[in-house]
């Protein structure tokens, strides 16, 4: 379709100029029902977007921008299995992985759902056999430890979800995750493990990923030395799109789990890449996780753009990135078990939309993506919230909090929720110098001290945030949260006209690492063809190491 974004962009730029003297608190002062008008409820999940520098007119123009970009057509293409990843010539059908009723989804003229459902059944049956202890190790014992070896989405996804859902994990099983090619990562995991009761899951799309296969080979050697070569077939399983390579490692067909090239790594937690999670939380809970994602898929497809949570998330982000020039975005979960959720979203958002070339191969016309980061509250409050409240950079924030705790103290959770709500209010409201001075006078502070300290205790406010409030962190809720951010990323990619499903930016470093590896390992290798910095660093490393 033909894209003509000039009119909505011009309208939004004009509205942006009018906002300079209007703060978020002003919206609340002039509209006592602002919250009622600026929140959406999905089941027991509430999305509050009232603390933003926007009104209904701005929101309407943002919706115009999305429609002019062809969002509705591109959304239909995503769900229909069309080629929405043109640089790799593929569909992006992670939505099929959480399709629970088998409704046909076609790509390349074939319905993918029979294969998806069959692989899911196979994976979950295997997971239950490990979890229930019917699958035995080479020594005839039940497995007590599961080590997931992967990197990127093959590690971040299951590792994040396993921590988030730790109250649902089987108490007799421990899950471990290894990603870094640094040998310390694997060594630290293996140090206290009984290999005779340890199952290894190798997660690699191509089964050639350098970091994953290096760690897999080291784990294989450790098992062979301890239990014998014949134990490899019992203690290893794999998730890959490359069954021949998996077979070559010594893993039998019954322990090979497939996914497909139309599943990007950062979207693969819904597939057999989630095997370690399924072992930990069980098949029924894993299916609830899938249902949570599927519920958001339905909402994204069916809700009007004006009440569509991922659409609103995306457009608010575009409002700040492209019209306010805010480069950062923070995700702050007020839940210690969601500690890895910001890291998971870093890959999802920054690898997907960290692009400077559009679908036509031309330089993009505007900024894309945001620098995403986050830590759990209240830890983050004592780290980088100083910049949020008083720094020169404005960072929009997503707060995530459950109404009630899961396997945690209720009184402490009340305090946690209070902290979350207080931070969003403080960011929005701030505190003027006049208010600071009045408070200090009421406390009996001397005037000269007030004059010296008041500027330092002033909060400018007007810092935007969204809040996601849900009943409890369950498998279904986690599935909902992940899917919301997935579709947010997609909507933004449509407006920016970029491909969110490729990641060519990671390739160059991999190629150079392969070229440099023999030079780093061989102290006699010539370095003349390298740039002076790289050559100098390798030479100094040789002096330190050999």
Given 172, 382, 449, 540, which residue is catalytic?
A: 382
CA distance 102 to 123: 17
Where would I find the H helices in 48-93? 56-68, 71-80
CB 278 within 8 A of CB 123: yes
- Is the distance from CB of 460 to CB of 432 less than 8 angstroms? no
Q: Which residue in the block uniquely carries the two structure tokens 């929140």?
A: 39
DSSP state of 324: S
Distance CA 12, CA 6 (A): 10
Alpha carbon distances (Å) from 271 to 37, 135, 281, 458: 37, 21, 15, 50
The span from the CA of 462 to the CA of 459, in Å, is 9
Residue 524: both structure tokens together: 């006699």
**355 included as an active-site residue:** no
Rounded Cα–Cα distance for residues 510 and 516 (Å): 10
The reply to whether 172 belongs to the active site is no
CA–CA distance from 483 to each of 66, 240, 274, 309 (Å)?
19, 23, 15, 11
Pairing of strands 39-42, 198-203: unpaired
18, 306, 451, 510: which one is catalytic?
A: 510
Structure tokens at 224: 């062979």
Q: Which of 192, 481, 153, 124 is nearest to 337 (CA)?
A: 481
Of 387, 515, 490, the C-alpha closest to 79 is: 490
Give yes or no: 510 in active site.
yes
* Residue among 119, 287, 351, 437 flagged as catalytic: 351
Q: Which of 163, 138, 119 is nearest to 254 (CA)?
A: 119
HEC string of 473-530 equals: CCHHHHHHHHHHHHHHHHHHHHHHCCCCCCCHHHHHHHHHHHHHHHHHHCCCCCCCCC
Distance CA 346, CA 266 (A): 10
Question: Distance (Å, rounded) from C-alpha 349 to C-alpha 421?
Answer: 25
One-character DSSP codes across 240-308: ES-HHHHHHHT--GGGEEE--TTS-GGGGGGTGGGHHHHHHH-HHHHHHHHHHHHHHHHHHHHS-GGG-
Tokens for 419, please give them. Answer: 């902290």
Q: Under a CB-based contact definition with an 8 Å cutoff, are residues 155 and 177 in contact? A: yes
Which positions are annotated as active-site residues? Answer: 351, 382, 510
């Amino acid at each position: 379709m033909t894209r003509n974004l000039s009119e909505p962009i011009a309208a939004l730029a004009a509205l942006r100029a009018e906002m300079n003297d209007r703060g978020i608190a002003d919206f609340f002062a002039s509209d006592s029902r602002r919250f009622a008008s600026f929140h959406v409820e999905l089941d027991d999940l509430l999305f509050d977007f009232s603390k933003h520098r926007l009104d209904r007119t701005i929101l309407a123009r943002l919706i115009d921008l999305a429609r002019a970009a062809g969002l509705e057509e591109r959304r239909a293409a995503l769900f229909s299995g069309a080629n929405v990843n043109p640089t790799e010539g593929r569909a992006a059908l992670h939505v099929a992985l959480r399709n629970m009723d088998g409704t046909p989804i076609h790509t390349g003229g074939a319905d993918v759902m029979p294969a998806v459902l069959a692989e899911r059944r196979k994976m979950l049956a295997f997971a239950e056999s490990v979890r229930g202890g019917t699958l035995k190790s080479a020594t005839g014992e039940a497995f007590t430890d599961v080590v997931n070896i992967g990197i990127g989405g093959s590690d971040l996804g299951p590792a994040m979800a396993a921590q988030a859902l730790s109250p649902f994990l089987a108490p007799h099983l421990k899950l471990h995750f290894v990603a870094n090619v640094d040998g310390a990562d694997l060594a630290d995991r293996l140090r206290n493990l009984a290999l005779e009761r340890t199952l290894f899951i190798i997660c690699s799309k191509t089964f050639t990923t350098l970091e994953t296969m290096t760690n897999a080979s080291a784990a294989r050697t450790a098992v062979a030395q301890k239990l014998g070569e014949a134990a490899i077939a019992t203690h290893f399983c794999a998730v890959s799109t490359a069954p021949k390579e998996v077979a070559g490692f010594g893993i039998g067909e019954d322990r090979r789990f497939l996914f497909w090239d139309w599943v990007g790594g950062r979207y693969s937690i819904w597939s057999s890449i989630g095997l370690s999670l399924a072992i930990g939380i069980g098949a029924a809970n894993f299916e609830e996780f899938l249902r949570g994602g599927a519920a958001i898929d339905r909402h994204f497809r069916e809700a009007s753009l004006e009440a569509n949570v991922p659409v609103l998330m995306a457009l608010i982000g575009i409002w700040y990135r492209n019209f306010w020039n805010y480069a950062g975005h923070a995700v702050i979960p007020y839940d210690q078990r969601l500690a890895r959720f910001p890291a998971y979203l870093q890959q999802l958002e920054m690898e997907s939309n960290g692009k400077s070339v559009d679908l036509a191969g031309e330089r993009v016309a505007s900024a894309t993506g945001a620098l995403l980061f986050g830590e759990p509250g209240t830890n983050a409050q004592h780290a980088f919230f100083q910049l949020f409240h008083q720094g020169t950079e404005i960072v929009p924030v997503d707060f995530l909090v459950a109404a009630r705790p899961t396997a945690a103290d209720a009184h402490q959770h009340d305090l946690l929720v209070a902290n979350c709500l207080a931070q969003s209010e403080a960011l929005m409201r701030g505190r003027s110098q006049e208010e600071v001075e009045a408070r200090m006078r009421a406390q009996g502070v001397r005037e000269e001290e007030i004059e010296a300290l008041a500027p330092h205790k002033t909060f400018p406010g007007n810092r935007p945030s969204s809040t996601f409030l849900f009943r409890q962190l369950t498998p279904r809720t986690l599935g909902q949260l992940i899917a919301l951010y997935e579709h947010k990323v997609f909507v933004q990619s449509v407006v920016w006209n970029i491909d969110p499903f490729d990641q060519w930016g990671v390739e160059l470093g991999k190629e150079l690492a392969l070229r440099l590896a023999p030079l780093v390992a061989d102290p006699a290798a010539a370095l003349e063809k390298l740039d002076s910095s790289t050559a100098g660093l390798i030479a100094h490393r040789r002096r330190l190491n050999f």
